[in-house]
Amino acid sequence: MREGSAAGTGDSSGPDIWARYRPGASADAVDRGHAIEGGDRGTGDGASGGSSAPPRIAADLDRFTADFNRVFAAQLHVFEDGSIEPAAEHGPDVTAAEIGAASGVRVPRERLVVLFTPTQIEKLASFMATLEIPERLFNGDDVGTTTTQQRILLSGHILTTGHYQPGGFEQAVHARMCGHWVNLVLAYAGCDNGAGAGVREQFDHNGGLSLSVEDTTDRRTGRATTTAAGRDSLDRGLGLGGRHAAAPGARATFEMTGLPFEQLATLEPGDWLWIFNDNGSPGGNHSVIFSRWASAEQRFGDVRYRRAITMSQGSPDAGGREEMRLLGERFVDTGSGHVTPVTHVSRISASTRPMQTVEDLIAILGSGPEATTNRTFIERQVHDLGRFDWAALAQYLREQNDALIAQLESHMTPNQREVFHATNQRHSGDGGEGEIPLLVRLNERLRTLADNATALDAATTESRARIAATHDASLERTRPEREALQARIDAIHADLERLEAEHAPLEAQVDLYEAQTAELRERYVERRRLRQQRTALRQELRTSSMEPERRQEIADELAAIATRLEELAPEIEQLEDVENSRDVRADRRDARRAERHVEVRIRQQTMLLARLARQLTTLTASAGYVTAHGRVGRDDFNGRGESGPTGLLRNLVPQPHWSTFMRGAAGGAPSQISDTRH
C-alpha cells in the first residue's frame, strides 16, 4: 500500500541489488545515489544516453540491459517500431514450447535509459534479481516514457512470474477470476479506468490507489485535452455484441458473436479480449490480454484460426500465466486444443498514464452545469439565499475532504496525497460559490474511495488472519518438494547466466557479418543510383539549346559522379573479397550455427524455468494464499450502486444542517442531519 519498501524504492537499508551488476565489487563500495546514469527523472524528462557514463555505471547498465532482454524476451516485440499498429504479422512463428523465446530485437541500453527513470531501472533490476514484485513500478509517482502497451505487457509478465508478501509470507498474485486478473495488470501498468467503479478498478494488487488519465489531441483543431482514462470497446465497429444460443452440449447458456477471421489482424498488443472457451459461466467467456501472433492462418477442417500468445489467469489457484491459444472463427476441438472465437475487444489509449497533477485529478472528477442547480437547491433549503455563506460551506467541504484524504493515506503515494490536498485548497476568488461544484465532486469521489478502502482493508486483514493460522504447517509439508524445485530453478538461473555470457559475443559476431553484408548492399545501391544519374545527365547534355550555365552545372555533376564511382570501386572490391572469401563464409556459417545452438539452449532452459516456477507456485499455493483484494463483498468489489461525481449538493452524504451556514446563525461546526441520499 505504501511507497518505500526496500524492494521498490532503492532504500539504502535494503539489499544492494546493483552488486549483481558489478562482478567482483563489494556491496560496501556502492554509491546507490549514483548507481544509474542520468539523475532523477521522475517525470521521464532529461534522460542521458550511455556514451558518457563512468565505466562502472556503464558496466552496470550493460548488465541491466542484458538481463532486461533475457527476462522480458517474450515482450520485446512491443518495443519495435509499429508495435502498436495492428499486429497482423508481428513476431516469428513459434510453438508452445517457445513462448518464452525472444519475440523481437534486443532493446539497446541507450533506449532503456530513456524509456525508464532511474528509480524504475532500479526496481526492474531488483525484480530481475529476486522476482519480488516492486511496488508502484508504473502506477506511482515515477513516470517514464514507456507506452501503454509496453507497460501492460511488462506488467503482465511481472505479475505472472513474480511474488510478493501480502500475508507475511511469499506468494504469487492470485485474483478472484480472469477479469479481475486483467484489472490487476492494468492497475499495476498505470492505465486502469480513471473513473473506475469498485475495488477492482480503483486499487492495485497491493492495495495502492490507482488513478489514470489519457491525453488526446483534436485532429481538426490541434487542441490537447486530458480526460479520465477509459477503455474503448471496439465491439460495435467489429460487428461484435450479439448473442445466440450456445451449441448443443455446451455448458454456457448463450454464446456471443465471434470476431470475423479477417478482423483478427486488427488486434494489438495489450488488448483485453474475451474469448469463448465454454468455461462454465453463463456466457462461457474468458478474459485474456493479447500479446502477439504466433502463426499465420491455419485450418482445422473449414475453421480458420491463428495461434496467439496471451496472458491470463485460468484459475485462482494457478495465478496468471503466459500461454498459447488458438483464436479463430468458432469454438471447435482440434484434438490438440480448442479454437476459441474472440467475443469482445477492449483497448486502452496509447496516451494513458497515471494521474500526476491537479489538472489531471480535475479531469478525472469532470465538470458540468451544476452551479445553477445547487443555487436552486440551497434556496429551497434555507429560503433566504442572500444570507447563505458559501465560503463557510466551502470551508466545511474542505474539512470533510481532508478527513477523507487522511483515511486513504496508506493507499496513496506522496504525490497522490499532494494532488488531492492541492485540489481541495483551490480558491476561485468569488466568495466560495464557484468553488462548490469541484469540492462536492472531490467529496463524492473521496467518499467512494474511502468506503471501498475501508472494505478492502477489512477483507485483507480477515484473509491474512485466516490463512496465517494454517499456512506455516501446510507449507512445511511440502518443504522437501519445494526445496528440490528451488534448487533446480537456481541451477537453471546459473546455466542461463553462463549461456547469456556465451551468447553475447556470438551474437555480436553474427551482427558484424550481417553489417558487412548490409554495407556491401548499400554500396551496390549507391553505385546503381550514380550510374543512372550519369546516364540521365549525359542525355540532357545532348540538348542543343542548353544554356551555358546549365551545361557547366552538368559538367560539374558528372565530374563529381565520376570521382565518387572511382572511390566506390575499391570499397566494393574489398567488401566483395570479404563476402566471397571461403574462410569468411565458413566463419560466418559456423558463427550462425553456434549462435542458433546457444539460442535454442536458452529457449529450452527458459521454458523449463517457467514450468518449474509454475510447479513451485502451485505447491506454495496449496498451503493457502491471500487473494488480491481479499474477500471484499460483491457490491464493494464491483462498485454496484456507485455513480460518478455529480457536483450536486443534494447528493452530499451525509447532508449537513444547511441553516448552519446562514450568516448570523449560532456558531459551531455544521451538524449533519442524514447519512442517506436525498
Supply the pTM of this predicted model. 0.75
Q: Which of 90-94, 279-283, 394-398, 652-656 has the lowest mean pLDDT?
A: 90-94
Task: Report whether 319 contacts 160 (CB < 8 A).
Answer: yes
> Quick check: helix, strand or coil at residue 192?
coil
pLDDT above 90 for 622: no
pLDDT at residue 219, rounded to an integer: 79
**Do 229 and 214 contact (CB within 8 A), yes or no?**
yes
Higher-confidence position of 34 and 223: 223
Segment 97-122 shows an average pLDDT of 90
Same domain, 189 and 266: no
C-alpha to C-alpha distance for 189 and 134, rounded to whole angstroms:
12
Least Cα distance to 421 among 429, 413, 432 occurs for: 413
Residue 640 one-letter amino acid: R
- Same domain assignment for residues 199 and 302: no
Structural domain contains residue 183? yes
Q: Give the confidence band of 178 by pLDDT, cuts at 50, 70, 90.
A: very high
105 and 77 in contact (C-beta within 8 Å)?
no
pLDDT digits (tens, 9 = 90+) for 312-321: 999 998 899 9
Q: Looking at the structure, do residues 205 and 64 belong to the same domain, yes or no?
A: yes
Is 20 a domain residue?
Answer: no
Query: Is the domain of 170 the same as that of 81?
Result: yes
Whether the per-residue pLDDT at 38 is higher than 60: the answer is no
The pLDDT score that the predictor gives to residue 309 is 95
- Compute how many other C-beta atoms are within 10 angstroms of the C-beta atom of residue 283: 18
Q: How far is CA 397 from CA 132, 224, 362, 401, 669, in A?
A: 41, 31, 16, 6, 12
Is the residue at 236 inside a domain?
no
Q: Hey, is 498 helix, strand or coil?
A: helix
Residue 296 covered by a domain: yes
Q: Higher confidence at residue 34 or residue 252?
A: 252
Cell digits of residue 36: 544509474
Report if residue 275 sits inside a domain: yes
Q: Cis bond leading into 654, ω under 30°? A: yes
Whether the pLDDT of residue 200 is over 90: the answer is: yes
d(Cα 258, Cα 265) in Å, to the nearest integer? 14
Residue 81 is given by DSSP the state T
- What is the per-residue pLDDT for 15? 40
151 and 293 part of one domain: no
Name the domain boundary from 306, 329, 353: 353
Q: What's the confidence (pLDDT) of residue 196?
A: 81
Whether residue 86 is found in the same domain as residue 190? yes
Distance CA 464, CA 457 (A): 11
Q: Find the mean pLDDT for residues 607-612.
A: 81
The torsion region of residue 339 among left (phi > 0), alpha (psi -120 to 50) and beta comes to: beta
Residue with cell 529450452: 604
Please state, as a whole number, how many other Cβ atoms lie within 10 Å of the Cβ of residue 465.
Answer: 10
pLDDT of the residue at 518: 84
Is 293 within the bounds of a domain? yes
How much is the pLDDT for 48? Answer: 33
**3-state SS record for 153-180:** HHHHHHHHHCEECCCCCCECCCCCCHHH
Rounded CA-CA distance 436/443 in Å is 10
Report pLDDT digits (tens) over 222-267: 888 898 888 877 877 777 877 888 877 788 888 888 899 999 999 9
- For the ranges 6-20, 439-453, 514-528, which has the lowest average pLDDT? 6-20
Q: Looking at residue 141, what DSSP letter applies?
A: S
Q: Is pLDDT at 88 greater than 60 in this prediction?
A: no
Which pLDDT band holds residue 68 (cuts at 50, 70, 90)? very high
Residue 71 domain-assigned (yes or no):
yes
Cell of 619: 505447491
Among the listed residues 152, 135, 133, the one whose alpha carbon sits nearest the alpha carbon of residue 190: 152
Which of 63-77, 295-309, 511-525, 554-568 bottoms out in mean pLDDT, i.e. has the lowest?
511-525
Both 203 and 64 in a single domain? Answer: yes
- Number of domains the chain is built from: 2
Same domain, 195 and 121: yes
From the CB of residue 547, how many other CB atoms can be counted at a distance below 10 Å?
Answer: 9
User: pLDDT-based confidence at 33, cuts 50/70/90?
Assistant: very low
One-letter-per-residue 3-state SS of 374-428: HHHHHHHHHCCHHHECHHHHHHHHHHHHHHHHHHCHHHCCHHHHHHHHHHHCCCC
Q: Average per-residue pLDDT in the chain? A: 83
* Structural domain of 122: 56-214
Does 158 lie in the same domain as 280?
no
What letter would DSSP give residue 96? Answer: G
Tens-digit pLDDT profile for residues 519-545: 888 888 999 899 888 888 888 877 767
Long-range contacts of the stretch 575-580 (C-beta < 8 A, 24+):
575/516, 575/519, 575/520, 575/523, 576/520, 578/516, 579/516, 579/517, 579/520
SS3 state at 346:
strand
Give the span between the Cα atoms of 590 and 573, in whole angstroms. Answer: 24
User: Quick one: pLDDT at residue 535?
Assistant: 86
pLDDT band at 671 (very low <50, low <70, confident <90, very high): low
- Checking if the pLDDT of 57 tops 80, the result is no
Q: What is the pLDDT of residue 672?
A: 59
Last residue within a domain, chosen from 186, 214, 242? 214
24-33, 218-227, 390-399, 592-601: least confident range: 24-33
pLDDT at 538: 82
Instruction: Say if CB 195 and CB 361 are below 8 A apart.
Output: no
CA gap 138, 150 in Å, rounded? 11
Which of 296, 326, 353 is the endpoint of a domain? 353
Four-point Cα dihedral 631, 632, 635, 636, nearest 10: -170
d(CA 180, CA 199): 10
Please compute the mean of the pLDDT values over residues 269-275 and round it to a whole number: 96
Backbone angles phi, psi at 279, to 5 degrees: -85, 5
- Is 36 a domain residue? no
Q: Is the pLDDT assigned to residue 639 strictly greater than 80?
A: yes
| Percentage of the chain lying above the pLDDT 90 cut | 47
One domain for residues 60 and 152: yes
Q: What is the rounded distance in angstroms from the CA atom of residue 449 to the CA atom of residue 451?
A: 6
Q: Rounded to whole angstroms, how far apart are CA atoms 182 and 205? A: 11
178 in the same domain as 278? no
For 540, list phi and psi in degrees, rounded to 5: -65, -35
The residues facing 324 across adjacent strands are: 309
Range in 416-425, 575-584, 665-674 with the lowest mean pLDDT: 665-674
**One domain for residues 199 and 315:** no
Instruction: Write the pLDDT tens digit of every residue in 545-563.
Output: 778 888 888 888 989 998 9
Integer-rounded Cα Rg, in Å, for the chain is 31
For residues 183 and 202, the answer to whether their CB atoms sit within 8 Å is: no
Helix axes 582-621, 479-541, angle to 10 degrees: 140
